[in-house]
Amino acid sequence: MPFEIGLTAVERLAPLVPGGVTTAQFALRRILDQPQVTVVIPGARNLGQAAANAAAADLAPLDPQTHAAVAAVYDELIREHVHVRR
């Protein structure tokens, strides 16, 4: 995916992240909200990151409007770069 498109996606997603929540926690919460997901195995470079990642499970599920907004960013900017038909 082109770097500039990634930056645009981040700019559009940033306002959706609630205060007091990191972008990584927001992303993990989004993944955890998917009914087909049974486990998430995020990476961490240190104990603080591991603790912050684990804390995402304690966040309230995202509301349907937030899920829809994230899906719209994905569909508009990212999908074509990761779902390539060969």
pLDDT single digits (tens) 9-46: 999 999 999 999 999 999 999 999 999 999 899 999 99
pTM of the entire predicted model:
0.88
Name every residue whose Cβ is closer than 8 Å to that of residue 50 and which is 6 or more positions away in sequence: 44
Average pLDDT of the residues in 72-86: 87
For position 31, what pLDDT does the model report?
A: 96
